[in-house]
Amino acid sequence: MSLLLRNNGAILLLMFNIFLVFTGIGLVIPIMPTYMSELHISGGTVGMLVAAFSLTQLLFSPLAGRLSDNMGRKRIIIAGMLVFAVSEWLFGVASSPVLLFASRMLGGIGAALIMPAVMAYTADVTSKEERAKGMGFINAAITTGFIIGPGIGGFIAEFGIRVPFYAAAVAGAVAALITLLMLPESAAQKQVQASPGQKQPSLAVQLARSYREPYFLSLIIVFVLSFGLANYETVFGLFVDHKFGFTPTDIAMIITFGSISGAVVQATIFGWILNRFGEKRVITISLITAGICILLTLFVHKYWLIFLVTFLVFLSIDILRPAIGTQMSKLAGDQQGYVAGLNSAYTSLGNIAGPLVAGYLFDLDINYPYISASIVLILCFILAMRAGRAWTATENAVPERG
């Protein structure tokens, strides 16, 4: 609790902002069928809307990370919340697919601004010992937003199909104002901001150079887990509907329970887990558990077994995500914003590729998406095992900032 209240409750405020953003992203899920009917758009268009958000986030994430280093975390967070508010309002007033695409692309820019700045701020205000707990809190807010976003959207939609987006726009603007008035700039970031800046390379150059960085393997794992989770979630409802005849209620119960459990672990014992076992062990165990459990989904048939393996998949990935973020922040030195931006960029790459590949493979064979996701995760586990010593040596070489 002391970590949450320190710096005028900075971590709490960051959690509120990031929770709001991901709740807003989830609002669209229960409402899109009605939008599809009203605006006469196809399912393919809906898929492109999802890709547009992730693609825009990808393109802007590295730039946003550098901006948070040069201009300040606080300014970028506020800017991101305002862009998010505009995107939600635009989605509410949209009367054509063009406006929907504009809204989702603005939403991607807002997420790109917010995510690296929030992660970098968390790294700024926590010690190495506290960083796992801080990242756990932030990721718990993300997970919780994803969980309750669709529910909130469905409830508020009772007052009007566009009301949820207007409510999210107002909440985003209010959060930006609260951040402006209450969030202090981090002392560690001020030191970075005061140092001479470097010219911002393009996204392509940053991605091309990232293979040279000591945290490149961590970026690969970020992509893999995003790809695997997007692959898994995209076809999960179709898979269990086709194979087991599950109802929407059955599917919702499984996903919600797994997501809630992951959020609870992130907010409570994640810091202890990481400090007790270390990043390398947590990352490798999470990778192999997720890979095996995704593969087991093809062989289990009883409801409780499907429930169990799905729960383990979500829990493994919910532990893996902040573990990777913590591990990269320890290797980043004074480039917290830049590294957080690359983290977000690789996440977006996975979120773009995962659904596209899953949909294509599902059309070929219902089992192929899970086979491919499992193989990729298990191969990544082998790679992580081989690179563990390099991680440790590099981390020990990076000095702790005062």
Instruction: Examine the fold and report which residue of 190, 221, 247 is the final residue of a domain before the chain moves on.
Output: 190
Q: Quick check: is 131 in a domain?
A: yes
Q: Are residues 267 and 392 in the same domain?
A: yes
Tokens 């048939």: give the residue: 301
Give the pair of three-digit tokens for residue 119: 């992660």
To the nearest 5 percent, what fractions of the chain are helix, strand and coil? 85, 0, 15
* CATH number of the structural domain spanning residue 150: 1.20.1250.20
* Per-residue confidence band for 187, with pLDDT thresholds at 50, 70 and 90: low
Is pLDDT of 162 > 80? yes
* Pair 269, 313 in one domain: yes
Mean per-residue pLDDT over the chain, rounded: 77
| Claim to verify: residue 96 and residue 180 sit in the same structural domain | yes
Helical H segments across 246-367, by residue range:
248-268, 270-277, 279-296, 303-331, 336-364
The pLDDT, as a whole number, for residue 79 is: 94
For 16-72, write each residue's pLDDT tens digit. 888 887 777 767 666 665 776 777 776 566 667 777 887 888 788 778 877 887 888
pTM: 0.64
Is the model's pLDDT at 205 over the cut of 80? no
Q: Do residues 58 and 107 both lie within one domain?
A: yes
Q: Are residues 86 and 215 in the same domain?
A: no
Structure tokens at 399: 């000095």
Please check whether residue 252 lies inside any domain of the structure: yes
State pLDDT tens for residues 240-283: 777 777 765 566 677 667 767 777 777 778 778 888 888 788 88
In this structure, the answer to whether residues 128 and 45 fall within a common structural domain is yes
| Residues 245, 102: Cα–Cα separation, whole Å | 37
Q: State yes or no: pLDDT of 319 exceeds 90.
A: no
Q: Is 181 a member of any domain? A: yes
Q: Which two tokens mark 97? A: 């697919």
Q: Would 144 be classed as within a structural domain?
A: yes
Judge if 211 and 150 occupy the same domain: no
Mean pLDDT throughout 105-130? 84
Lowest-pLDDT range of 47-51, 159-163, 279-283, 348-352: 47-51
Whether 309 and 368 map to the same domain: the answer is: yes
Q: Are 285 and 150 in contact (CB under 8 A)?
A: no
Residue 195 included in any domain: no
Q: For residues 390 and 286, give the distance between their C-alpha atoms in angstroms, rounded to a whole number.
A: 19
295 in the same domain as 170: no
Are 243 and 366 in contact by the 8 Å Cβ rule? The answer is yes
Decide if 110 is inside a domain: yes
Q: Which domain holds residue 305?
A: 200-401
Domain assignment present for 269? yes
pLDDT confidence band for 400 (50 / 70 / 90): very low
Centroid of chain to Cα 96? 28
Report in angstroms the alpha-carbon separations of 371 from 292, 298, 378. Answer: 10, 8, 11
Q: Residue 148: inside a domain, yes or no?
A: yes
Of 172, 190, 208, the residue at which a domain comes to its end is 190
Q: For the chain, how many structural domains are there in total?
A: 2
Q: Pick the last residue of a domain from 190, 219, 244.
A: 190
User: Which amino acid, one-letter code, is at 243?
Assistant: K
pLDDT at 81: 92
pLDDT at 194 over 50: no
- The verdict on 45 and 159 lying in the same domain is yes
Report the Cα–Cα distance between both ends of the chain, in Å, rounded: 22
Q: Are residues 312 and 397 in the same domain?
A: yes
Looking at the structure, tell me whether residues 220 and 87 fall in a common domain: no
